[in-house]
Amino acid sequence: MTIFAACAALLMGLGLFGLITNPQPLRKIVAFNILGSGVFLLFGIVARRGAAAGVGADPVPQALVITGIVVAFAATAMAVALLLRLFADRGDTRLDHESAAGTEPARDDCRPP
């Protein structure tokens, strides 16, 4: 268990590093998933430490992780969809365009026709 605790902490560090330093949003999303799985692993260690009453791991943190994995997937799906749309519109996916809305006049094409 000690081994996986150290593993979880290192995974979180790695994921955070990738999220901060990698300029490509797609790689940021991958890094976020590694960061997230490190956090989930921490839940797993907490669950394993809570082994009692004849089960090998506390079921409550396990259930929380299952919920968390699904939520993380939903986040990934939304981020990927935004990324692909950005790529389709602009041909690149850089996030360092300054003053995002500062240069262009307000667009409001949600008005009724």
Partner 1 sequence: MTDAASQSVLPVLGIMLPATGMLLMLLVGGRYVEWLALILLPAGLAVAAAIFAAVWREGHTLIYVVGGWQPPLGIALRADGLSAAMMLVTAVIICATGLFAGPQFSQPRGRPERRAPLVFWTLLLAIWAALNAVVVGADLFNLYVALELLTFAAVPLVALTGGTETIEAALRYLLFALLGSVSYLIGTVLLFAAYGTLDIALLSARVRPEPISWIAASLMTIGLIAKTALFPLHLWLPPAHAGAPAPGSAVLSALVVKGSFFLIVRLWFDAMPGLLNLAAAQLLAGLGAAAILLGSILALRQSRLKLLIAYSTVAQVGYLFLIFPLAGAASEPASSIAWTGGWLQLFSHAFAKAAMFMAAGLIAEALGHDRIAELGGIARRLPISTLAFALAGLSLMGVPPSGGFVAKWLLLLASVMQGQWWWAAVILLGGVLAGAYVLIVVGKALAPAGAAAAPTAPVSRRREVVALTVALGAVLLGLVPLQPSELLQIGRLDVHALAAR
Partner 2 sequence: MTSALAFDLALAALVLAIATLTIAAREAMSAVISFIAYGLLLSLAWVRLRAPDVALTEAAIGAGVTGLLLLGAAATIGDRQAGAAPPLALMLAAGLACALVASGLAATTLVLLPEPAPTLAPPAMASLATTGLGNPVTAVLFVYRALDTLLEKVVLVLALLGVWSLAPDRVWGGVARLGPDAPPRAMLVFLAQLLPPVGMVIAIYMFWTGADHPGGAFQGGAILAAMWLIVLTARLADMPATSHPGLRLLVLAGPMLFAAIGFAGWALADAFLAYPEGYAKPLIILAEAGLTLSIAATLACLVAGPATRTPPP
| Contact positions with partner 2 (CB under 8 A) in 12-71 | 12-18, 20-27, 29-31, 33-34, 37, 40-42, 44-60, 62-67, 69-71
DSSP letter string, 60-87: HHHHHHHHHHHHHHHHHHHHHHHHHHHH
Using the rule CB under 8 A, which residue among 3, 52, 53, 106 binds partner 1?
Answer: 106
In the complex, minimum distance from the CB of residue 105 to partner 2, in angstroms, rounded to a whole number: 19
107 binds, among partner 1, partner 2, none (CB under 5 to 8 A by kind): partner 1
Nearer to partner 2, 76 or 104 (CB): 76
Own/partner contacts of 5-9, CB < 8 Å, gap of 24 or more, are: 5/42, 5/45, 7/41, 8/38, 8/39, 8/41, 8/42, 8/44, 8/45, 9/38, 9/42
Residues of this chain, 55-94, that bind partner 1 according to CB under 8 A: 60-61, 64, 67-68, 71, 74-75, 78-79, 82-83, 85-86, 89-90
